[in-house]
Structures are given as structure tokens and as C-alpha cells.
Amino acid sequence: MSGREPRIHGHCDARFAAVRTAFEENFRERGELGAAVAVTVHGETVVDLWGGWADTAGTRPWQRDTVVNVWSTTKGPVALCAHILADRGLLDFDAPVSAYWPEFAAAGKEKVLVRHLLSHRAGLAGLREPHSFADLCDWELTTTRLAATEPWWEPGTRSGYHALTYGFLVGEVVRRITGLLPGAFLEREVTGPLGIDFTVGLPEKEAGRAAELVHAPNPATADRAESFGRMPPVAVAAVTNPVIGAAGANTPEWRAAEIPAANGHGTARAVAALYGVFAGRGTLGGRRVLSPEAAERVREGQGRCRDLVLGAGFEHETEVALGLWLSGPNGSYGPNPRAFGHDGFGGSCGLSDPEAEVSLGYVMNRMGPHIADDPRKMALIEALYSAL
């Protein structure tokens, strides 16, 4: 990679100079390759910065319109789809999933509620049978297998992170109601009308704008084997069936597929806008997307617990609301415990704080090794709140 120090582009209001400083420090001190950060306050963009390299070789500078796969940060926009339908009276979070998806009632799942899908409490964090990368790219196959499988634990009692299955579960309910996959529904209802540069998957014609993902350094093979050996079977199923990393996510097959838990592509500006819908209590750019009541409901906590999938990687309990994670006493999304957001595999993040009317989007291509709360993200959040 080029040894030149990357230039930072864009704008940052003087009041938020600390955010620019933290962003620059991410390159100098925290191994950033290419990245962007955007912040909105009271619906106005106050930070919109980008810099570094869109490729490992350091030959393509990160541009204003560079997009990148944001992994699980995609789950926020997918949750937004469900909340739009609920707001319109088309979806009842307290109804059984089988009311919309009859086949889902198989294998003891007749009492699984829609709210259990949104809060990672459905007991379907991973499939029991082998599921390949090609299988994952097949919507019908994946949803058929999820409908037929039995839960790993009693639904509704605990959360267990549905890393890949979340998007198929919530997304199939969206499809059954609207006839559209969640990516198309999001485009029709939100990103298209509001001009937000975010897609589930990536159209082939946009591939030239995509940053190359670079995987986090792998621990020694023996350490990895020992780590997997300590994981409960449900966690192994959730994170290794199939194993997807940077190499797979850089392929045309991944970008062409609809994997709504993990293959959203966009800019930091787009992430800040989408999470800004919640920060604005349902409005963005003067346009109402959700009623205030529906926007508030997204952070309706479902109970703190030690997550059955992520528990080995967290030293504390966490709480998932109806589609997003609460900041809580851990401060994952700033000092307001009622703030909320979602991290993406390797470091990306969307944040919403309705009390401060603040949203943040952070995207990058060099993936870190942290399950959540990547130091680069946390540095940006700390700098943001220091300026408020």
C-alpha cells in the first residue's frame, strides 16, 4: 500500500472539529485504510468526511460517492421497513409470524411472534443443516429452510444474535405483505424518494464505486480452533454456517444477492440519513417516513441478557430493542442509554439519538477484529458527544 498519508476531504462544522480530529487519528493511530463519517444534528448534516484508499494497493482514493458493504449496519434499514408496515397497520408485531408466512409454523414455531424476529429472540440464529455461500445467495432456499427448522431455544425467552438469518426472517415477512423483497421495498418507500445512496446488494453498474473490503488479521489457527471449541453449537451455526468474510463479500455473487442482514452498500452519508429517520422521530429532510409513535417504538427494549451467540465475546449483558441495539449502561452508542444503533462486522456503525436529534454513519473497508464497539467507531462517538 502507498505510504502517503491519506488526505481527508469533505466538510466539518467548526463546532465538531473533534470529530475530524478523531477521524484523522483513526488513520494515523488505528490502522484505517479508507473510511467516511457523517453526522446529522436536528436534521442538518454537520460532518461529512471521507479519506484514505478504496483498495488495498492504495491506488484508488476514497471518493465522496464511494460505497462499501456495511454488513450488519444493514439491519437498521431492514428494521425500518418492518416499522413502516406496522405504522400503516399492515404488520402486527404481536402476531405470530405464521399469520403472514404460514409455512413458518412448522417444527414448533407456531407461537413465534414478529417481535421475536426483530429482537433476535426467535431461536433461529443459524441453520442446523450445512448451508453454503451459494445457498445463502438463494432467497427461496434459505427462507424455506428457515421455515422448516426448529428453534435452538424457547423463542421469546433470550436473545441470540441472528447474524445472517435476521434479514431473511424479517425480509420474508416484508415480502409476504408487500410482494417486494426488503431492498426493493426500502428503495420504493425511503431511499428512492429521499435520494439516499444505499442499496441492499449492489447493482452491477455501481461496482466501480465499491470499496474493496480487507479482512481483519486472523488469530493463529490454534487460537481460532480453541475459540470455536468454546462456543455453543448455536453460536457456531450463527457465525460459521456459512463462513463469510471480506473475500466473499467482494464478489459479484454477494453483491447480486439479497442478504438483508449483511449486504447493504452505501456511503456514511446514507447511513446517517437512514438512522436519522429515527433520530428525527420519523422525519428526514422535512418528509415524514414514520409517525412519532412508530419511530419511538423501534427502541422498545425486550429485556437485557447475556446474548446466546455473542456472549463469549461480551463481558456484559446487552439489550436488543425492536430491530436495533440500545446503548444502555455500556455506552455503545454514546452516553444516552436510550440512544440506539447497529454495528456492522468489522467496524461500521449507524447511530440514532432522538433526545439529541443526532445520527451518525461510519463506514470503512479495513475490517477490525472486534465483535462490536470497534475503537475507531468509539473514538468518533466520543468526539461527537464531546461537541454537543
Confidence of residue 229 (pLDDT cuts 50, 70, 90): low
Instruction: Give 49-84 pLDDT, tens digit per residue.
Output: 999 999 999 999 999 999 999 999 999 999 999 999
Catalytic residue ranges: 72
Cell of 277: 429517520
- Average pLDDT value over all residues in the chain: 94
Listed residue (119, 83, 137) closest to 248, CA to CA: 137
Instruction: Give the DSSP per-residue string, 331-370.
Output: TBTBS-TT-EEEE-TTS-EEEEETTTTEEEEEEESB--S-
Confidence of residue 311 (pLDDT cuts 50, 70, 90): confident
- Runs of H (alpha helix) within the chain: 17-29, 75-87, 114-118, 133-136, 139-148, 165-178, 182-186, 192-194, 221-230, 233-240, 246-249, 252-256, 268-279, 292-297, 375-387
Q: Which is more confidently placed, 224 or 108?
A: 108
Eight-class DSSP state of 263: B
Answer for the pair 158, 305: CB distance below 8 angstroms, yes or no.
Answer: yes
Confidence of residue 138 (pLDDT cuts 50, 70, 90): very high
d(CA 263, CA 245): 11
Identify the residue whose cell numbers are 427502541. 299
Q: How many other CB atoms are found less than 10 A from the CB of residue 163?
A: 24
What structural domains does the chain harbor? 8-78+183-387 (3.40.710.10)
pTM of the model: 0.96
Answer for the pair 237, 136: CB distance below 8 angstroms, yes or no.
Answer: no
Give the three-class secondary structure for 113.
strand
Answer for the pair 48, 10: CB distance below 8 angstroms, yes or no.
Answer: yes
Cell of 379: 473514538
